[in-house]
Structure 1
Amino acid sequence: MQKIQHPSNNAVLGAPAGWDQAELPCGALPITRTHVGDLPVVASYWRPDAEELAMLNAGGAIVLQVLGVTMPPVSLSVEAA
């Protein structure tokens, strides 16, 4: 999937301090800082390419991977074009 610029984006995240780009490259990610109710959230927007869409339509799954040993609270959803 490719990260995309969304009209709501209002910030950009970079690699964490001390990140080893040679070991695992980490590029800039456009984000939207907002709230869901009283909770602060950070949203990024992604678009599957044609091959990924074909895999999803054939019953494939989206995988969310978080670096580390646990997973913080996350949410995945679909937004209309």
Structure 2
Amino acid sequence: MQIAMIENATRIIGKSQGYLGLPLRDEMIVCSVNGEGTPAMVTAWQPTPDELERLNAGASVHLRILGVAHPPVMVEVGPTPTE
């Protein structure tokens, strides 16, 4: 997956730590566990042509978390791009 610029990005994280830099959008969501006003960070990713081919053939999306503790996460498909 390739890092994409998320719509209405509010900051870029990780660059000072040696990573490529990840644009994200801070937002508040309604969470079924934590309730209304739960802070969240949203990033955007674009599959490479090879990854898209594999996804269309039924491959799953894998989420890799660095470290030993797993924070709550959500994975979804973003809106269709408009040109």
Name the TM-score class by shorter chain.
0.7 to 0.9
Instruction: Output one character per residue of 1:13-49: Cα deviation in whole Å (capped at 9) or x when no partner.
Output: 0257xx5x5xxxx221100011102100011100111
Taking only aligned residues, the RMSD between alpha carbons, in angstroms, comes to 1.5
SS of structure 2 residue aligned to 1:56: helix
Q: Partner of 1:14 in structure 2?
A: 14
Mark the runs of 5 or more structure 1 residues left unpaired by the alignment. none
- TM-score, normalising length from structure 1? 0.81
Partner of 1:5: 5
Q: Quick one: percent identity of the two aligned structures?
A: 30
- Runs (4+) of structure 1 moved beyond 2 Å? none
Structure 2 stretches lacking a partner, 5+ long:
31-36
Larger relative contact order (Cα-Cα within 8 Å, sequence gap ≥ 6): 1
TM-score by length of 2: 0.79
